Structure 1
Amino acid sequence: MYPNRLSRAFTVTALGLLLAACAPSDPYAETSETLSNEVLLPAYTNWAEANRRMAASSIAYCAGNEELDDARQAYLQAQLAWAGLQPLLVGPLGEGNQAWQVQFWPDKKNLVGRQVTALLKRKPDLTKADIENGSVVLQGLTAYEYVLYDKAVDLTDNDTKMLYCPLLQAIGEHQQKLAADILLEWQAKDGMAEQLSKFPNERYAESQEAIADLLRVQVTALDGLKKKLGAPLGRQTKGFPQPFQAEAWRSDATLESIDAALAGAQRLWLGQDDNGLKKLVPADQADLAKRIDAAYGTARKHLEDIMLPFSELIADEAGRARLDALYKDIDALHRLHQTELARALGVQIGFNAHDGD
């Protein structure tokens, strides 16, 4: 009897494996899991590490163990990590207005400069709690950039440096904790990474909902890039340039930030090896995939060709024409994602955070 039972068990196991092999795969679930593991989670990890380095840099700089140029470089790395993350703001960082804690933009009325000055007059011995309980205007990269770059802050003067250093360190610590907490939410059991990988779950009833969410945040980010370029170009002010509405204008990292954001969007599209959203485009719409590939290539190449200080480009008519051409490249990308790619993937885009701007 024992050999017969063993034979039956083997047959049942083999049948189960055969049925599993024959079961239709879910390309949406596979793509969502792949993007979660190979694109999104690494980007959030990189952002958290960049903020850890920036926080350490603020301490070293204020202790006299690091030069100003090194502190600025640490800020720039955090800024570019954040810019690259913006097309990937699915989940906790995209909810509850938490992104405002990272970067206050646009700062149309120099609220950053005014609030920093007012805070230091009111509380010259400020603590981390003052930042934690204060305005988002004071908590993020824009205020950090103000301290390191603004002409009103002369860090070569030791008394000025000592006045601003507690703020610099408090912002660094706040950003480090925020990024670490968000990363933990991604990595936790039933966290965001798992919710993008196993269906159904409390966030997504099916894999198509996860893909729709990923495409929507990408469309929102591309539309946001149009605003970040269009606002300083004066597209909302009858053609009058507004250079101080550019992202990261004090550090002149505007174009580098746009490039990092485009690279983040492109990673979501391509995945690691054409296994991103591109893989879900139906075979009979291969031409759409080629046009999106070409649109990314055109925009990134255009950026490479004009990678000059943004302040110089926007001050010159010929430079503004080149920036306007880049705007049109990004607009073309945005429209391809919002209309044709969304239709190809069966996604209803709806409204986004920038509608009505």
Structure 2
Amino acid sequence: MHSNPYPRFAAAITLGLLLSACAPSDPYAETSTTLTDEVLLPAYTQWAEANRRMAASSIAFCADNEELDATRQAFLNAQFAWAGLQPMLVGPMGEGNRAWQVQFWPDKKNLVGRQVTALLKRKPNLTQADIENGSVVLQGLSAYEYVLYDKAVDLTDSATKARYCPLLEAIGEHQQKLAADVLQAWEAEDGMTEQLKEFPNERYADASEAIADILRVQVTALDGLKKKLGAPLGRQTKGHPQPFQAEAWRSDATLGSIDAALAGAQRLWQGADDNGLKALVPKDQQDLASRIEVAYATTRKHLADAMVPFSELIANEAGRERLDALYDDLNTLHRLHQTELARALGVQIGFNAHDGD
């Protein structure tokens, strides 16, 4: 009499499932998933919320229901949320010209001021469509900051306020919609969140490609921070300081923006609980992990110590020396990620958007 083969077959399947459940999972996939859930998605959500509040704030201010100080604070919150997102521009935000729509920098020829003035002369009854179809110079935080902070715009004068308010509200609406659209692209079915967690997909063949993408964007942002400090310090202009090439100089949010971007890069490195890129450094290279930890701590401490108005720091020799030391800190961090961390994780960095600047 033949014994029934099915119980053995079923047992074999069950054993196979148990073994696969016990099999060590791909550490790159694990890290990509935890970074997505605990760092990337929360940062995009926070950015979208900061923009929603900035848009609401512009409407309240223009209706005389909010003081200028509160409106400026809502702008700063959006500026710092955006700065913190810079090292995380994987996927939708790094495509098209979306980043330019958020912030126009460097503004070497005061295009922001000139284009805002020209636009309001040409379109005294500005509509949302004028901004949507207009230049990226006018759509983002740089133009919003100009209206709120530039000495040429006196918002305590009711006629001036009435002239500039349609622009303020239109930019607020544009930023809110842009951030909401990007967040939607993250959260949608088969969206960026899924693509960083389930492999293969149309963007990444495997988890190591996703990690490589995250590291490349982080490295580009660290290099970008050197530019944001180097340009006003005059490193591209034979040492002649160019204070008006600083990021967010009108609101004196320059160093705060650099710190927020550094904090974003550090979150990718550390994760929520030492489960970020740091977790992928091989056991025999823990010295590298320690040096990166020290580099972040040192840079952020020097930044915290230098938190006086950027315009004051760059105006005197002692201040410029502190900024130069900070530039060297950023350079160390950038090199550690671009060369040593990339090698440790098996990532080819290649060229980035800042190369050759």
TM-score (norm 2): 0.97
Equivalent AA in structure 2 for residue 333 of structure 1: L
**Percent of aligned positions with the same letter in both sequences?**
82
Equivalent AA in structure 1 for residue 140 of structure 2: G
User: Hey, what's the Cα distance between the residues in 2 that align with 1:143 and 1:220?
Assistant: 25
> 2:136 aligns to what?
136
Cα deviation, residue 17, structure 1? 3.4
Residue by residue, what CA displacement relative to the aligned partner does 1:157-208 show, whole Å, maximum 9, x if unpaired? 0000000000000000000000000000000011001100000000000111
User: Hey, what's the Cα distance between the residues in 2 that align with 1:228 and 1:190?
Assistant: 35
Q: Unaligned 5+ residue runs, structure 2?
A: none
> 1:56 aligns to what?
56
- Note the 1:142-161 alignment, pairs <5 A: 142-161=142-161
> 1:211 aligns to what?
211
> 2:164 aligns to what?
164
Moved more, 13-22 or 194-203: 13-22
Number of residue pairs aligned between Structure 1 and Structure 2: 355
Q: Determine whether 1:20 maps to 2:20.
A: yes
User: Hey, what's the Cα distance between the residues in 1 that align with 2:343 and 2:275?
Assistant: 19
Cα deviation, residue 12, structure 1? 4.2
> 2:303 aligns to what?
303
Residue by residue, what CA displacement relative to the aligned partner does 1:26-81 show, whole Å, maximum 9, x if unpaired? 00011001101110000000000000000000000000000000000000000000
Cα deviation, residue 14, structure 1? 3.6
User: Hey, what's the Cα distance between the residues in 2 that align with 1:5 and 1:84?
Assistant: 60
User: Hey, what's the Cα distance between the residues in 2 that align with 1:311 and 1:10?
Assistant: 73
User: Hey, what's the Cα distance between the residues in 2 that align with 1:317 and 1:16?
Assistant: 69
Cα deviation, residue 23, structure 1? 2.3
Residue by residue, what CA displacement relative to the aligned partner does 1:215-270 show, whole Å, maximum 9, x if unpaired? 00000000000000000000000000000000000000000000000000000000
Q: Determine whether 1:31 maps to 2:31.
A: yes
User: Hey, what's the Cα distance between the residues in 2 that align with 1:71 and 1:287?
Assistant: 46
User: Hey, what's the Cα distance between the residues in 1 that align with 2:324 and 2:160?
Assistant: 39
User: Hey, what's the Cα distance between the residues in 2 that align with 1:279 and 1:130?
Assistant: 48
User: Hey, what's the Cα distance between the residues in 2 that align with 1:26 and 1:259?
Assistant: 33
User: Hey, what's the Cα distance between the residues in 2 that align with 1:157 and 1:339?
Assistant: 54
User: Hey, what's the Cα distance between the residues in 1 that align with 2:49 and 2:9?
Assistant: 50
**Consecutive aligned runs of 4 or more in structure 1 exceeding 4 Å deviation:** 4-10
Residue by residue, what CA displacement relative to the aligned partner does 1:66-107 show, whole Å, maximum 9, x if unpaired? 000000000000000000000000001101121000000000
User: Hey, what's the Cα distance between the residues in 1 that align with 2:166 and 2:96?
Assistant: 27
User: Hey, what's the Cα distance between the residues in 2 that align with 1:6 and 1:272?
Assistant: 47
Q: Determine whether 1:236 maps to 2:231.
A: no
Equivalent AA in structure 2 for residue 108 of structure 1: K
> 2:106 aligns to what?
106
Equivalent AA in structure 2 for residue 244 of structure 1: F
> 1:93 aligns to what?
93
User: Hey, what's the Cα distance between the residues in 1 that align with 2:21 and 2:167?
Assistant: 59
Residue by residue, what CA displacement relative to the aligned partner does 1:294-317 show, whole Å, maximum 9, x if unpaired? 000000011111111101100111
Cα deviation, residue 25, structure 1? 1.3
Secondary structure, aligned partner of 2:131:
helix
Equivalent AA in structure 2 for residue 68 of structure 1: L
Secondary structure, aligned partner of 1:114:
helix
User: Hey, what's the Cα distance between the residues in 2 that align with 1:96 and 1:58?
Assistant: 27
User: Hey, what's the Cα distance between the residues in 2 that align with 1:121 and 1:204?
Assistant: 48
Q: Unaligned 5+ residue runs, structure 1?
A: none
User: Hey, what's the Cα distance between the residues in 2 that align with 1:271 and 1:9?
Assistant: 43
> 1:262 aligns to what?
262
Residue by residue, what CA displacement relative to the aligned partner does 1:311-346 show, whole Å, maximum 9, x if unpaired? 110011100000100000000000000000000000
> 2:122 aligns to what?
122
Secondary structure, aligned partner of 1:153:
coil
TM-score (norm 1): 0.97
Cα deviation, residue 13, structure 1? 5.5
Secondary structure, aligned partner of 1:266:
helix
> 2:222 aligns to what?
222
